[in-house]
Amino acid sequence: MIRTIHADRIADCVAELCVEACTVLPKQVRALLGEARHNEPYAPARESLALVCENCKIAEQSRIPICQDTGMTVVIAEVGQDVHIEGGTLEDAVNRGVRRGYTEGYLRKSVVRGPFDRVNTGDNTPAALHVRLVAGDRLKLTVAPKGFGSENMSRLTMLTPADGMRGVKTFVLETVRLAGANPCPPVILGVGIGGTFEQAAMLAKEALIELREGDHPDPVIDALEKELLDEINRTGIGPQGYGGLTTALAVRIKTAPTHIAGLPVAVNVGCHATRRAEAYL
């Protein structure tokens, strides 16, 4: 049976999620920060993590942004195949929601209308909208504002199959070292491996936004995540670049089938304020 959802409900939901995502850090990220603070032996790094945790607490209690860069709004819409949207298009509804959320929520507007004229759109639209068609009669909306201190440090490469696991490790570690303190570490890394050029980037984005809890179901990938996290935290960059053992909070990897001649790898860098809010309609 077809279920109808009005576009106004979508816009209302997106507006609320924009404010929530910018002011309330996901529980997984808060837990990782708390654990890192507890385990960090280097005093300046531990103090930096304490300040980060305090900032997040104040932001949630006061409903003010965790970071002044309230990001470009990434929206993932998982649309049930039995859902009918009335009263407008999904894209228009999402952008109306972003416009309201960023204007009424007093969030910084950071989107420019073109890469060269650099004229601010004034309302943080358009969103970066990704749509998936899934089974069922519900609509899941995930809003993930992405600041560009970390986004600018993200990279993609097209390795060859001969580069193998070693090539992937080298590229990920090189990405972290090149980023240094720029993405406001401790960072969270989403890594996409496989697929095509554009698919690898989307896999990395999904891995970062979803921030899977627990071990990876594939023991090979699980071991790779743990090894990369350990090696990244040996770089000595540390929280905000002050040194210490906490350069990254987590590494999450998503993979996909790929071509016999290719090994695409993308790294989407998230800062310590890797934000997300979601809801079902």
> Cβ(264)–Cβ(159) under 8 Å?
yes
Is the pTM here over 0.85, yes or no?
yes
Structure tokens at 156: 């993609």
Structure tokens at 129: 């909208």
User: What does the pLDDT look like over 49-59, one tens digit per residue?
Assistant: 999 999 999 99
Domain ranges of the chain: 3-22+66-146, 149-274
User: What does the pLDDT look like over 83-110, one tens digit per residue?
Assistant: 999 999 999 999 999 999 999 999 999 9
Three-state DSSP class for residue 65: coil
Dist. CA 163–CA 29, nearest whole Å? 32
Distances (CA, A) of 200 to 8, 172, 204, 252: 33, 13, 6, 13
User: Partners of 278 in the beta sheet?
Assistant: 142
Mean pLDDT by 10 residues, the chain (281 residues): 96 98 97 96 95 96 96 98 98 98 97 97 98 97 98 98 98 98 97 98 98 96 98 97 96 98 98 96 98
